[in-house]
Amino acid sequence: MEYMSKEKFEEAERIDKLKNKMLKYIMYKKRTEAEVRQKFSDEDENLLEDSIQYFKELNYINDEEYIIRAINEFMALKNLSIKEIVYKICQKGVNKNLIEDYVCKNKDIMLEYEIASAKALILKKQKALEEQEIKNFLYKKGYMSDSINIAFENMK
Residues of the chain with pLDDT under 70: 1-4
34 shares its domain with 73: no
Q: Please give the pLDDT value at position 64.
A: 95
For residue 136, the tally of other CB atoms under 10 A from its CB is 13
Q: 69 lies in a domain?
A: yes
Q: How many domains are contained in the chain? A: 2
- Residue 39 domain boundaries: 6-57
- Residue 82's alpha-carbon distances to 41, 60, 90, 118, 124, in angstroms, are 31, 26, 12, 11, 19
48 shares its domain with 87: no
Q: What is the pTM of this model?
A: 0.85
